């Protein structure tokens, strides 16, 4: 089955929300190249009315007047059940204030335009939603494609997904790895850095942000202190700058720096972060190792499996009450700590690497109410874990 034929479950969810009697602005957020635009087109094909599609993803970001123009064109079709779709809406200056103004205006004049907005910057989207559109929207989150989606749509094996990751548009390049690496680097990584991060934020040291991300690709699912990062980066400034840049990369769905979980206290801010890439393609497109070489390197493959688990947690738990950390004390570690007000899970990943459970035992001694969860080895098989929705495993 090809990409054009595969329909994400989100399509029906968004379509149902758009058709409700109570009209709310529907928002889809998520990384680039995971199918937001494709989903929007599929929704448009099923829409029983006129559809106007526009994209703010231009070299020179448009202003609020551009949004007003698109909205006015949709109003002209008001008798034909119009749907207005705006892609990369966060690129338009003053987008949230303009959308609020037009939305409220429609309520006053009795226009019933259905609106679907797409955005790939979590930071800018959330800022606009919280500042201007409170009570006017419903949010849908689309993450990097997980194993079930890649398997169902393209027949991708678990090992292929662990190495090549979850960008559906890269599947045709899997058999030509040098082209796959170049495509991910140039069309995905570079586009996100230059158009979604550097263009939308005031960054004093853009070269440092790029170098920080490239450094992180060499340490998937590993704990790396900010001081060690400073030693490997040129013109790195200070740890505060690096921590800020990690947060910007998080908002672009590229990289998260998990914090150390401290028992009985607030998590320790500024601790050595555990670097987790949101999609394994981001690490392997930069790595010098090919698919077969990585599979046969137990240490390398173990890191990729660990990162795939962390990435799955990050992607699927967006918007949930859970927070994700790691734990380490006096040489003992637990790979991931999944924490909610009423539940804490200690998650250990036993891949091809030889790993003991001393850290898990110590953590449970310190926090006996926590629940252990082992992936791989004697625990849940990797394929079963990656095939199971996380809310089914850990509750909602």
Angle, to 10 degrees, between the axis of helix 95-109 and the axis of helix 122-132?
40
Q: Which residue has the tokens 């034929």?
A: 5
Would you say 55 and 66 are in contact if contact means Cβ atoms under 8 Å apart?
A: no
pLDDT tens-place values along the chain, 396 residues long: 344 568 988 999 999 999 998 899 999 999 989 999 999 999 999 999 999 999 998 888 899 999 999 999 999 987 789 999 999 998 898 999 999 999 999 999 988 999 999 988 766 677 777 778 888 999 999 999 999 999 999 999 999 999 999 999 999 999 999 999 999 999 999 988 887 787 666 788 888 889 999 999 999 999 999 989 988 887 767 888 899 999 999 988 999 999 999 865 555 555 799 999 999 999 999 998 999 999 999 999 999 999 999 999 999 988 888 999 999 999 899 999 999 888 999 999 987 555 678 999 999 999 999 999 999 988 999 999 999 998 889 875
The DSSP code sequence of 347-389 is EEE--SS---SHHHHHHHHH-TT-EEEEESTTSB-HHHHHHS-
- Which region, left, alpha or beta, applies to residue 289 given φ > 0 means left and ψ of -120 to 50 means alpha? beta
SS3 assignment, position 159: helix
Per the listing, tokens 């002209």 go with 76
Domains of the chain: 3-141 (3.40.50.300), 147-394 (no CATH)
* DSSP reduced 3-state for 269: coil
Q: Residues near 351 by Cβ (< 8 Å), separated by ≥ 6?
A: 301, 302, 305, 306, 376, 377, 382
């Amino acid at each position: 089955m090809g990409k054009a034929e595969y329909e994400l479950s989100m399509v029906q969810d968004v379509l149902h929300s758009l058709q409700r009697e109570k009209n709310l602005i529907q928002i889809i957020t998520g990384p680039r190249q995971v199918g937001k635009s494709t989903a929007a087109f599929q929704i448009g094909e099923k829409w029983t009315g006129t559809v106007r599609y526009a994209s703010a993803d231009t070299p020179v970001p448009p202003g609020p007047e551009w949004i007003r123009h698109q909205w006015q064109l949709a109003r002209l079709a008001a008798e034909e059940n119009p749907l207005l779709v705006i892609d990369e809406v966060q690129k338009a200056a003053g987008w949230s204030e303009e959308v609020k103004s037009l939305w409220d205006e429609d309520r006053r004049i009795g226009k019933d335009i259905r609106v679907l907005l797409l955005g790939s910057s979590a930071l800018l989207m959330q800022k606009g939603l919280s500042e201007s559109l409170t009570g006017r929207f419903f949010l849908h989150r689309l993450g990097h494609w997980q194993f079930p989606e890649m398997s169902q749509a393209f027949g991708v094996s678990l090992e292929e997904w662990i190495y090549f990751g979850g960008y559906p548009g890269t599947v045709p390049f899997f058999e030509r790895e040098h082209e796959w690496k170049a495509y991910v680097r140039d069309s995905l990584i570079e586009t996100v850095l230059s158009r979604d991060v550097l263009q939308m934020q005031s960054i004093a040291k853009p070269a440092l942000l790029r170098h920080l991300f490239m450094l992180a690709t060499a340490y998937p699912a590993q704990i790396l202190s900010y001081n060690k990062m400073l030693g490997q980066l040129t013109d790195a400034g200070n740890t505060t700058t690096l921590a800020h840049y990690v947060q910007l990369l998080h908002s672009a769905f590229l990289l998260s720096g998990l914090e150390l979980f401290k028992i009985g206290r607030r998590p320790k801010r500024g601790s050595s972060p555990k670097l987790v890439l949101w999609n394994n393609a981001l690490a392997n497109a930069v790595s010098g190792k090919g698919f077969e070489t990585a599979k046969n390197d137990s240490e390398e493959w173990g890191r990729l499996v660990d990162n795939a688990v962390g990435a799955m947690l990050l992607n699927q738990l967006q918007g949930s009450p859970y927070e994700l950390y790691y734990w380490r004390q006096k040489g003992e570690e637990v790979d991931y700590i999944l924490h909610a007000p009423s539940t804490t899970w200690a998650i250990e990943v036993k891949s091809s690497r030889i790993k003991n459970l001393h850290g898990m035992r110590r953590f449970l001694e310190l926090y006996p109410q926590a629940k252990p969860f082992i992936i791989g080895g004697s625990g849940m098989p990797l394929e079963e874990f990656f095939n199971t929705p996380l809310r089914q495993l850990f509750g909602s």
